Amino acid sequence: MGRQVLVTGGTGYIGSHTVVELQAAGYDVVIIDDLSNSTAEVIDNIEKISGIRPAFEEFNLLNNVQLEAFFEKYSDIDAIIHFAAFKAVGESVAKPLSYYRNNLVSLMNILDCMSKYHVSNLVFSSSCTVYGQPDQLPVTENTPKKDAESPYGNTKAISEEILRDVVQVTPQVNVIALRYFNPIGAHPTSLIGELPRGVPGNLVPFITQTAAGIRQQLSVFGDDYDTPDGSNIRDYINVVDLAKAHVIAIDRLINKTNAERFEFFNIGTGKGVSVLEVVHTFEEATGVKLNYKIVDRRPGDVVKIYADTTIANTVLGWKAETSLAETLLSAWNWEKSVRNL
């Protein structure tokens, strides 16, 4: 049996892709997920891709009794990747307490159990939202953090502060925080991908659902920003490329090749792309015309942000490889498979 990695939120979008990549790298994976934003069918599809069925426990990380029982049952965990969190920017503005409670308490419960059950290594699912609206672009890992634009973003910033403080007083714990930019796309098999419940909070699922006729129209939130075409600019990273960064981070922690005990890396492409550019690239890649309209700006949205990925490229030896067009086509193929189109 290989090294064992716990993946919280492992049936979710990024989590499921990371499970597949971990299995491909020889890791034995255990998933905790409460299925609040995913389905158990994802486990079946992971097995179809990899030929390996990951162990799966269904419960919420806020339940400390169940979490401790889990660590009693699985006593050989070498590392944890912590994805499980609420993640919709707009919803977090409307329900801040729910986001603070879920995202922060779940992390603290994990850290308590790491100490009690002697688990040393944690990869934390962070976000470029920790930078707020930066003064200079691209953002490096040393870009000064500004106030987050949403409670969701603030939970990621506070989580990083919690991790930094815990590492300082807990010599056995090592942490890598990966600050993702905007993950999009789906696995090339079209067996796993982004499948939000209800109205999507992210751009690409809204695009693919509009293309599939599930949504009547795509809303572009604002065309009067200080950008070349007036729409928001983001750094869109292929989800499989992103998943591979987690495997490298786990390798780094388990093999103790990290120089610092709390490290953080930008995971993006290094290229800023506007919302309207994404729309037009999708149309070109798929041949499908989108019905979209410009609407008012959305509260909590950063105007523009994209990464400087030099440190991840050099220190981790990781680089984004998949083009935007290829990534958007994978998202469309996934949508079609889900809808039987």
Query: Active-site residue numbers?
Result: 152
Alpha-carbon gap, residue 108 to 48, rounded angstroms:
34
Amino acid at 88: A
Amino acid at 242: L
Per-residue b or e along 186-224, where b marks 16 or more CB atoms closer than 10 Å to that residue's CB: bbeebbbbbbbeeebbbbbbbbbbbbeeebeebebbbbe
Contact 106, 85 (CB under 8 A): yes
Contact 324, 243 (CB under 8 A): no
φ, ψ of residue 280 to 5 degrees: the values are -70, -35
Alpha-carbon gap, residue 341 to 337, rounded angstroms:
6
Contact 81, 55 (CB under 8 A): no
